[in-house]
Amino acid sequence: MFRRFRHKLLLYLQAGILLSGAVGVALYPAAWQAILIATLGSSLTAHVCHRIARQYLHTTLGRLRHVAEDIGRGASADALQTQPGDDMYKLNRAIQLVAARLATAAREERRLHDELRRRERLAFLGELAASVAHEVNNPLDGVQNCVRILRRAQGDPRRAAEMLDLIEGGLERIELIVRRLLTLAREHVIRPTPTSLASVIDGALTVVGAKLESHCVRLERNYLPAGQDVAPVDRPLLEGVFVNLALNALDSMPAGGELSFSVRRDPRPARADGDAPGVDLCVDVADSGDGIAPDVVPHIFEPFFTTKTGGKGTGLGLALAARIVDAHRGVITVAPRGGGGSVFTVRLPACAADEVPAAESSTVQPASVA
């Protein structure tokens, strides 16, 4: 049609006939048909080219996305099948180069991390050995002095009995240090079961409640509704943590004061170690004691670090508590309390709703118990 129209048009033009009148009327339908066919043909060609290009780009970009995801997961990235010289070939080469550099950097990072951990362990062992030597030498020196005095006091039974009592006390302290050190060094294999943290706290306070009351410490408990405070924990180990925190609070309030255990829920963001976002249960143990100096806070959970005087503490209680909480995939921190005192916070992953036993969800718990 278009060829016939073009042929007629050339003939009329060669003959000098203007496109007007009857000739123009005769040519208009053919012209519109030719224009319509040309437009439809161009549109169809453009649509087919667009579909082919889109399919090619979709397939290629999809494969590039899978390669990028493999690189992000740390897996080896497979090379794309592309033709040398085109843009996708160059892009593929660049991606493979980036993947190779990332793999090299990851290996170097692991090597440096392992080396750093090895040096940290050596430094920790050195500090620990010095601390153990210092802590054991103090009572050992006292035992040796008592033995020397005992040799000279053979004719004085009362003096000899005093020395023997001191020797016994010094040996008991050495035994306590060694026992707690072994407990600290032992790998804590926990046996977690879904447990209400309120019941764990109540169990710990049963152990120390009488002692707190005798020292005029007012106790307050703030719990969540039933079923909202359930976490996978090893109850005996976690009770020991709360007993330790209560006794530490008592030591900071020799004249009495206030001690509170509060349980709350707190959103947990995704962690670097792969844990998905979720909910943590936080137990805040707050006291109205003397507080902790800012320069002491970074060292409070270190073995053998203690602010107690007169040989009261071994400096292992909080270090052991931190190890136990860490074994539960939790965190323990300390911060100043508004109005004086300190707040120790034990943060533990909460059980999902479908993991809460019926017995725990049906137990009635008070929102606040003094």
pLDDT tens digits for range 358-368: 555 444 454 44
Over the stretch 258-268, which tens digit does the pLDDT of each residue have? Answer: 999 999 999 88
Average pLDDT over residues 93-108: 77
Q: What sign results for the dihedral spanned by CA atoms 70, 76, 80, 84?
A: positive
Instruction: Reply yes or no on whether the pLDDT at 281 is more than 90.
Output: yes
Q: CB atoms < 10 A from the CB of 16, how many?
A: 6
Instruction: Reply yes or no on whether the pLDDT at 245 is more than 50.
Output: yes
Confidence of residue 13 (pLDDT cuts 50, 70, 90): very low
Over the stretch 144-189, which tens digit does the pLDDT of each residue have? Answer: 888 888 787 777 788 888 888 888 888 877 777 777 666 656 666 7
Instruction: Give the closest residue to 131 by CA, choosing from 185, 172, 169.
Output: 185
CATH class of 192-369: alpha beta
Task: Write the DSSP symbol of residue 164.
Answer: H
pTM of the model: 0.54
Over the stretch 313-329, which tens digit does the pLDDT of each residue have? Answer: 556 778 888 888 988 88
Beta strands in the chain (DSSP E): 193-196, 217-222, 230-233, 257-268, 278-287, 331-336, 342-349, 368-369
Strands 342-349 and 278-287: antiparallel
Buried b (16+ CB within 10 A) or exposed e, 44-67: eeeeeeeeeeeeeeeebeebbeeb
pLDDT at residue 129, as a whole number: 66
Instruction: Give the closest residue to 81 by CA, choosing from 73, 72, 70, 92.
Output: 92
Q: With beta carbons less than 8 A apart as the criterion, state whether 293 and 334 touch.
A: no
pLDDT at residue 220, as a whole number: 93
pLDDT at residue 111, as a whole number: 82
- Beta-bridge mates of residue 232: 194
Instruction: Reply yes or no on whether the pLDDT at 98 is more than 70.
Output: yes
Gap between the Cα atoms of 48 and 176, Å rounded: 84
pLDDT at residue 151, as a whole number: 81
Gap between the Cα atoms of 343 and 97, Å rounded: 51
Give CA angle at 315 (309, 319), nearest 5°. Answer: 150
Greater pLDDT, 125 or 105: 105
Give the percent of the chain with pLDDT over 70.
60
Mean of per-residue pLDDT scores for the chain:
75
Highest mean pLDDT among 118-122, 144-148, 220-224, 273-277: 220-224
Per the listing, tokens 């997961």 go with 73
Gap between the Cα atoms of 134 and 303, Å rounded: 12
Instruction: Reply yes or no on whether the pLDDT at 39 is more than 60.
Output: yes
Q: Tally the C-alpha atoms within 13 A of residue 199's C-alpha that lie toward its C-beta.
A: 20
Greater pLDDT, 302 or 5: 302
Greater pLDDT, 350 or 368: 350
pLDDT at residue 16, as a whole number: 45
Average pLDDT over residues 115-130: 66
Greater pLDDT, 312 or 177: 177
Confidence of residue 301 (pLDDT cuts 50, 70, 90): confident
pLDDT at residue 331, as a whole number: 93
pLDDT at residue 107, as a whole number: 81
